Chains A and B, each alone.
Chain A
Amino acid sequence: MKNNGNRIVVATGIGTALYIALSYVSIPLGFIPNTAIQPRTALLAFLAAIFGPFVGGAVGLIGHTLADALQYGSVWWSWVFPDALFGIAAGLFAAKYAIEEGGFGTKQIVLFNIVQIVANVVAWVVVAPVLDIVIYAEPANKVFTQGAFACLGNVITVGVVGTLLGLAYTKVKAKSSSLKKED
């Protein structure tokens, strides 16, 4: 499937709905307090890797805003923007991953994970705490500790669940595109 305008619109919509639905699902890591395997982060990285930075950023921004609003009745903007940023970053090399063409192999997995780790660190260890301080004037050491834990949880989630999602989907897709036109 080509990523035309309509597909981007629908991917953003359905992706956001999925992201919000998955906001209610998480498994606490246990050994580190306040961190959890949040499938929605893996979903965000996965969608960005298929549909590119626009869908990644939009699902992160709209999804996180609506999920916060629907769940808590208020929006923590200092955590919304990092998520949007993460979505954009994860989608930057979407064309290189070739997930839908069945080409998500070792090389692509390494690239995908390097990108997600860098993006997570920038988003949660730098941007989120700084926004917390600027917007809510919270103590610096508290927000940096929080950010570091969030970053760790997300890196693990995306690394495991996100990579597996990519692998499984690329296998499904490979069958339909492995036929070549005869010259």
Chain B
Amino acid sequence: MAQMLSYMHKDTWIHRLSGVTKMLYFILWSIVGMVTYDTRVLMVMFVISIILFSMSKTSFYQVKTVFTIIGIFLTINILAIFLFSPLEGTKIYQSRTDLLHLFGSYVITKEQLFYEFNVALKYFTVIPVALMFIVTTNPSEFAASLSKLGVKYTIGYSIALALRYIPDIQKDFTEIKRAQEARGLDMSKSAKFSHRVKNMMAILFPLIFTSLERIDTISNAMELRGFGKKKKRSWYRERPFTKTDYVSIAFIFIFSVLAFVVTFIDGTRFYNPFI
């Protein structure tokens, strides 16, 4: 199975923040990052992301695979945008500066380059913060913080269960796959498409059916222990708020408001250096 991002215990001020704070920060940061297309705002966010990322002492090795995948995805996306709509930037910024004529209607314009630069920048402002959120937040604490934010504890518990059982299910998957391969099933790329689909099902079916049995076992066990009988529940991993939490939350709220003001002060979400 492919490498997955996971929580890693370290001792920095970001790790010590409460899960609620980090989640609020992540949500507001992504919303601002999604809404704004203002290059100035994006640049500031990008710089802050990088600083925070280095403060969290996340080693690049931890996130290398993820960065490669994002890099490939982003490149394809940017090329696809150009292929489908080479003059999207011209439309948005309502000006046109041709740089290079390629062929047919494909012209590289300054506006298009700028627009696509913004698209890439948008991803890079959110990615470091998201990565950091995942590697610095303990999953159990994350579930606890959800209930603090007013989400019903049963939903928080579902998420905690999901995070708890991902490794187990991956282990089951590998075991079933090996067992089937030992029986002669070819799962490699050399097999025919129809065979691969059929063989995939030979893994999927046992995996899904054992998981369904697991659902019944766990829910019975929870029933026996009286889960869901009361409106409230306490959490083992809950972390109390500290001064740093309040400061961080204040910062992200003020930052979001400022970002929106700067973005929309000229009426659109785009920053236009061409007029």
Per-residue 0/1 for B164-195: is the Cβ within 8 Å of any A Cβ (1 yes, 0 no)?
A: 11101110010000000000000000000100
- Considering only CB atoms and an 8 Å cut-off, how many residues of chain A contact the other chain? 57
User: Nearest residue in A to B80 (C-beta to C-beta)?
Assistant: A142
What is the CA–CA distance of A138 and B123 in the complex, to the nearest angstrom? 13
What is the CA–CA distance of A140 and B218 in the complex, to the nearest angstrom? 46
Q: A7-B216, A137-B37 are in contact. Are A39 and B200 (CB under 8 A)?
A: yes
Q: Smallest Cβ distance from B208 to chain A, in angstroms?
A: 7
Q: A21-B170, A139-B84 are in contact. Are A73 and B66 (CB under 8 A)?
A: yes
One of B98-106, B125-133, B256-264 contacting the partner: B125-133
> 13 new A-B pairs (CB below 8 Å) besides A21-B1, A73-B70, A74-B130?
A7-B216, A10-B158, A18-B169, A66-B163, A71-B5, A73-B130, A73-B131, A137-B92, A139-B88, A142-B80, A145-B84, A161-B197, A169-B212
Per-residue 0/1 for B115-131: is the Cβ within 8 Å of any A Cβ (1 yes, 0 no)?
A: 00001001100110011
Contacting pair B154 A5 (CB below 8 A): yes
One of A23-31, A86-94, A101-109, A113-121 contacting the partner: A23-31
Contacting pair B158 A58 (CB below 8 A): yes
Contacting pair A14 B123 (CB below 8 A): no
A20 within 8 A of B: yes
Contacting pair A13 B81 (CB below 8 A): no
Instruction: Describe A's contact surface by its main secondary structure.
Output: helix
Contacting pair A6 B228 (CB below 8 A): yes
14 contacts between A and B (CB under 8 A): A5-B228, A9-B228, A13-B164, A15-B211, A17-B163, A17-B165, A66-B163, A72-B66, A135-B35, A138-B119, A139-B84, A139-B85, A141-B85, A161-B197
Contacting pair B208 A18 (CB below 8 A): yes
B157 within 8 A of A: yes
Contacting pair B154 A72 (CB below 8 A): no
Q: Smallest Cβ distance from A90 to chain B, in angstroms?
A: 15
Nearest first, the 8 closest Cβ-Cβ pairs linking A and B are A13-B161, A139-B85, A142-B84, A16-B162, A17-B165, A12-B158, A10-B219, A73-B131
Contacting pair A71 B69 (CB below 8 A): yes
What is the CA–CA distance of A71 and B2 in the complex, to the nearest angstrom? 9
Contacting pair A43 B208 (CB below 8 A): yes
* Residues on A with beta carbons closer than 8 Å to the beta carbon of B215: 7, 10-11, 14-15
Contacting pair A62 B158 (CB below 8 A): yes
Contacting pair B209 A169 (CB below 8 A): yes
Q: A6-B227, A17-B161, A73-B70 are in contact. Are A1 and B216 (CB under 8 A)?
A: yes
Q: Smallest Cβ distance from A1 to chain B, in angstroms?
A: 6
B60 within 8 A of A: no
What is the CA–CA distance of A83 and B271 in the complex, to the nearest angstrom? 32
Q: A39-B204, A139-B85 are in contact. Are A30 and B211 (CB under 8 A)?
A: no
User: Nearest residue in A to B83 (C-beta to C-beta)?
Assistant: A142
Contacting pair B34 A9 (CB below 8 A): no
Contacting pair A17 B166 (CB below 8 A): yes
Contacting pair A14 B165 (CB below 8 A): yes
B63 within 8 A of A: yes
What is the CA–CA distance of A20 and B163 in the complex, to the nearest angstrom? 9
What is the CA–CA distance of A179 and B63 in the complex, to the nearest angstrom? 54
B214 within 8 A of A: yes
Per-residue 0/1 for B45-80: is the Cβ within 8 Å of any A Cβ (1 yes, 0 no)?
A: 000000000000000000100110110010000001
* Residues on A with beta carbons closer than 8 Å to the beta carbon of B218: 10, 14
A122 within 8 A of B: no
Q: A21-B166, A165-B208, A172-B209 are in contact. Are A138 and B161 (CB under 8 A)?
A: no
Q: Smallest Cβ distance from A156 to chain B, in angstroms?
A: 10
A110 within 8 A of B: no
